[in-house]
Every structure is written in C-alpha cells, then in structure tokens.
Amino acid sequence: MDLRLLRYFVAVCEFGTVHAAADELRVAQPSLSRQIRGLERDLGFTLFERVPRGVILTAAGQAFLPIARDLLAHAARASSTAKAIAAGSGAGLTVASATTTVTDIIAPFIVSQGARGAIQNVVESLPQDVYDVLAGGDADFAVGTRVPPAEFRSEVVGYAYLWAQMHPEHPLADMPNVPLELLVQEPLIVMSRAHGVRQMFDNAVTSAGLSYTPAIETTSLSLALALAAAGRGVCILSDDSRYGLHTAPIRTADGDLAITLYGVWDDKHYAGARIQHCLSDLGAFVAELYPQSRH
C-alpha cells in the first residue's frame, strides 16, 4: 500500500477539507482529489462523503483511519530504526517526556551521563500526550507519570516528590517533611484542577479526611513559585524550586506524596537492551535525586 496515499488521506481527515489539506501538503487540489479517489478504488470502499463545507468520513473511513495512522507510525519507526542502525551502535536514543520531567530529571540525568550518555534527543509534550509521541514513532522510549498503555513494556523508574515550597523564613521551613494535616491549615497556592499535581494533592487530602480552600489557584507554574517566594503562601508543585524557596516533601499516613515515574518502550524495539540499561541508570539517578522516597 502506498504510504504517500495514506498520508494524503490522514491529512484530509485532520484538516477537514481537500483544499486545506492540499495547501498543507503543497500539492494541487485536483491532484489530491484524484489520489484520494484512487485510494478508494484500491481499498474497495468510499472514505469520504462530500458535503458543502468539505468532506466527512464515511463509516468505512472512520474504521480505516486508525489503521492508516498505525501503518504510518510503524513506517516512521522503521525509518528511524534503519537510520540508527546505519549510524552504528553509538546512535543516541530519543526520549519522550513532559516538560517538567525533562527539566527536573531527564536533563540533569543527561549531564550526569557525560559525553557517552545514551540519550541524544528529547521530545517534550503534555503529560497526557507522552505515550502518543512514543506510539507515533517519534521517540525510542518514554518517561511518563501516567499508567502506561498495555501494549507497551514498562517498568517503574522511581518516584518524584510533590513539594511544599515556601519562603525560607516560613514557620514550616524547619521541618524535613511537612505533615499534610498542618499543610492544609496554611494559605495554599495550587495549580488549576486540571493539573495532575493538583489532582494528586486533592486526592490525598480527601483520603486523609481533611479539607482546604486554596488561597490562590493558577495555571502558571512560574507564578505559583513567585507568589510563594513573595511570602503569599505555600505552593504545591512537583517542579524543582526557584527564587531561594525552601522545599519539603509532604508527609501522609502512607508516606511522602510522590509521583510514580514509568519507563515505557516497545518490546520489539531494536535497541530494547540499550533502553533497559538506560532506564536502569535513570532509576539509580532518581533514587539519588529523591533519596527519601520509599514505596
């Protein structure tokens, strides 16, 4: 099957009209229309229904779309693998991860590994999209904070704290761990409810039979840190501190609140052994970075 035609089909689906897809693909609209009709003949069914405002997928087209995307993803992985093999065993790995994880864990790990480190490139994405990047063939493995899809192989790399971050002169700054029951009595600076760290903190508060009212709720990590440094309250984040803030883990009856870090990869990946070795090294690095996390 012609991968070029599959790319054309997916582009029309994504842009909603043949005209918009043709502009993006830089092909003439009549030519793109002919190519799509040719693909429909090859498949033996109609992919699109033409409507005044563009095209919509037929039932058959809806069923075929994930297959087309999967074929393109596998082709991309095959191409990436071939290039890496051609480059020799020293070819570096690409990891997909959320920006916070890259900043606080992956980047420092790369520095610690020196010139011979395995990771050569990073694809940053939203936490919920990390495994989609891996599935799309744009990374060799992923480090995520959400439970991995069953089709991938995975292992727990380690745990990253949820931090209570406060001005160094704050009364709680002398504590190595801040008990949750004391923390909820403070003016708290928290992320919006859609943020994973906020959800985890709220779940811990509820599980402990406690409650709190946020002093400040924001969508900006930088603002949360700045407000805490200004003495407006204690911010709850998994990000490393700035502005001289004191950080402490949050203690619950079950231990310190921490996010699970998963290493995820395709079990059939040609560099599976290198990925596992890299994740082993990363796990040791995380254990040193957050030595008090015990689960």
**66-78 tens-digit pLDDT:** 999 888 887 877 7
- What pLDDT is stored for residue 162 in this prediction? 87
- Confidence check: pLDDT of 86 > 70: no
Q: Which domains can be identified in the chain, with CATH numbers? A: 3-82 (1.10.10.10), 92-153+261-289 (3.40.190.10), 163-256 (3.40.190.290)
What is the percentage of the chain residues whose pLDDT exceeds 70? 95
Q: Write out pLDDT tens, residues 101-151.
A: 898 899 999 999 998 889 989 999 988 899 999 988 889 999 998 999 999
| CA quadruple 160, 162, 164, 165: dihedral, nearest 10 | 60
pLDDT tens track for 31-43: 999 999 999 999 9
pLDDT surpassing 80 at residue 291: no
Whether residue 162 contacts residue 201, with contact meaning beta carbons closer than 8 Å, is answered with yes
CA of residue 87 relative to chain centroid, distance? 28
How far, in Å, CA of 281 to CA of 179, rounded?
A: 32
Classify strands 234-237 and 93-98 as parallel, antiparallel or unpaired: unpaired
For residue 160, the model assigns a pLDDT of: 84
- pLDDT tens for 234-244 read 999 988 788 99
DSSP lists the bridge partners of residue 119 as 93
Instruction: Give the per-residue pLDDT at 231.
Output: 92
Q: With 60 as the cut, is the pLDDT of residue 294 above it?
A: no
Token readout for 49 is 């229904």
Looking at mean pLDDT, say which of 1-5, 52-56, 112-116, 187-191 comes out highest.
187-191
Note the pLDDT of residue 293.
Answer: 46
70 CB neighbour count, 10 Å cutoff: 13
Other Cβ atoms closer than 10 A to 283: 16
Q: Could you read off the pLDDT of 41-50 as tens digits, one per residue?
A: 999 999 999 8
Q: Is the pLDDT confidence value at 93 over 70? A: yes
The predicted model gives 211-219 an average pLDDT of 93
What share of the chain in percent tops pLDDT 90?
56
Pairing of strands 188-191, 234-237: parallel
Q: Identify the pLDDT of residue 88.
A: 56
Average pLDDT over the chain reads 88
Position 179 pLDDT exceeds 90: yes
> Which comes out higher in pLDDT, residue 280 or 271?
280
Q: How far apart are CA 228 and CA 63, in angstroms?
A: 50
Mean pLDDT value across residues 169-192: 92
Are 131 and 253 a contacting pair, CB within 8 Å?
A: no
pLDDT at 187 over 90: yes
How many other β-carbons are positioned within 10 Å of the β-carbon of residue 193?
Answer: 10
pLDDT at 227: 93
For residues 75-90, average pLDDT? 67
Q: CA–CA separation, 96 vs 141, rounded Å?
A: 6
